Amino acid sequence: MNITFRQLRLFLALAETGSVSAAARKTHVTQPTASIGLKEITQSIGVPLYEVVARKVHLTPMGHELAKAARAISDQWESFEQEVDGIKGLRRGKLRVAVVSTAKYFIPRILGSFCAKFPQIEISLEVLNRDGVVQRLEENLDDLYIMSQPPLHLEIDNEVLMPNPLLLISSSNHAYAKKKNLDISMLKNEKFIFREKGSGTRMATDAHFRKLKFKPDVRLELGSNEAIKQAVIGELGLAVLSQYSLGENSDLDHVAVLKCKGFPIDSSWHIVSPRGKKLSPIATIFKTHLTDEAKKWR
């Protein structure tokens, strides 16, 4: 097999975009050139690497293996370039971060202060639900991952970043909004609005209610913190949300934090990466920046 580094980058672009034309744009070549290059790669390997179904590229098992190898080589080369730039006194390159949706309330501000220090660094930020972030973690697509419920089925390096208290909330017009010392038993006739199954907030909430031996009456399951907050304001029920999703002035949003025994739920934000992965120089600097900024947030 005789495959060039340029061809590996082309195939990696194909794997990431799912389109020959998009891969061509990403690698700055024409579509005919990309098509020829991909054909040469397949001929060199000697087995099918992808197929096109309904104009969408689907990798074969061997195609996935080649993409995995190409990504590892590309990451290693990028890390080497960053080390060389570091010796020259330069800080440039690309940082890839994937975060669960609730982290979007604070991660962009931390990224902003990081970019202010290192304006030449290109940032790729993926904001997804927990399942999407875990999938990217499984495929080792990013430098770092931020989530509240790290997966147990993967071998990972996991560091607690900062607390992520989960609050029990209601409409500010609710009868319990101004009460103190509520007991969980007082909520047996209340309707609840939960995040979708599989989200970090939902996992922590379900585990906490099981611990309290309380079975909530779930009226709605929604995939967005904003939608849940609006449903609570609309007096459709109570909810459990991260403190960060409420903003700094929850009273202005017509939301009340209930003072109930057993709340808030203790939870934390975690910095996660595949076990044993060598972080690039930029990722290492950003991880330090994350922990420093987290101290201010605390």
Rounded CA gap, 53 and 284, in Å?
40
The reply to whether 121 and 199 lie within a common domain is no
Please list the helix, strand and coil fractions of the chain in percent, rounded to the nearest 5, in that order: 45, 25, 30
Where does a domain end: 35, 69, 90?
A: 90
The reply to whether 83 and 117 lie within a common domain is no
The reply to whether 170 and 159 lie within a common domain is no
Where does a domain end: 46, 61, 90?
A: 90
Rounded CA gap, 34 and 41, in Å?
11
Find residue 260's DSSP bridge partners.
182
pLDDT at 89: 56
The reply to whether 231 and 209 lie within a common domain is yes
pLDDT 10s digit of each residue in the chain, 298 long? 678 888 888 988 898 888 888 888 988 889 889 888 898 888 888 889 988 887 788 899 998 989 888 888 888 887 777 777 766 555 667 899 999 999 999 999 999 999 898 888 889 999 999 999 999 999 888 999 999 999 999 999 999 999 999 999 999 999 999 898 899 999 999 999 999 998 999 999 999 999 999 999 999 999 899 999 999 999 999 999 999 998 765 555 689 999 999 999 999 999 999 998 888 888 999 999 999 998 887 6
Q: What is the number of structural domains in the chain? A: 3
Owning domain of residue 42: 1-90
The reply to whether 21 and 79 lie within a common domain is yes
The reply to whether 281 and 292 lie within a common domain is yes
pLDDT at 149: 94
pLDDT at 196: 92
The reply to whether 242 and 256 lie within a common domain is yes
The reply to whether 75 and 22 lie within a common domain is yes
- The pair of structure tokens assigned to 123 is 């940032």
Burial state string for 225-236 with b = 16 or more CB within 10 A and e = fewer than 16? beebbbbbbeeb
* Sequence letter at residue 241: L
pTM: 0.75
What is the domain-level CATH number for residue 194?
3.40.190.10
Crossing angle (nearest 10°) for helices 281-297 and 61-87: 80
The reply to whether 83 and 5 lie within a common domain is yes
**Cα within 13 Å of Cα(104), Cβ side:** 13
Q: Which residues contact 196 (CB under 8 A, 6 or more apart)?
A: 129, 202, 221, 222, 223
The reply to whether 155 and 292 lie within a common domain is yes
DSSP assignment of 228-257 equals: HHHHHHTTS-EEEEEGGGG-S-GGGGTEEE
pLDDT at 135: 93
The reply to whether 262 and 171 lie within a common domain is yes
The reply to whether 85 and 95 lie within a common domain is no
pLDDT at 252: 58
Where does a domain end: 52, 72, 90?
A: 90
**How many of the other CB atoms lie within 10 Å of CB of 45?**
16
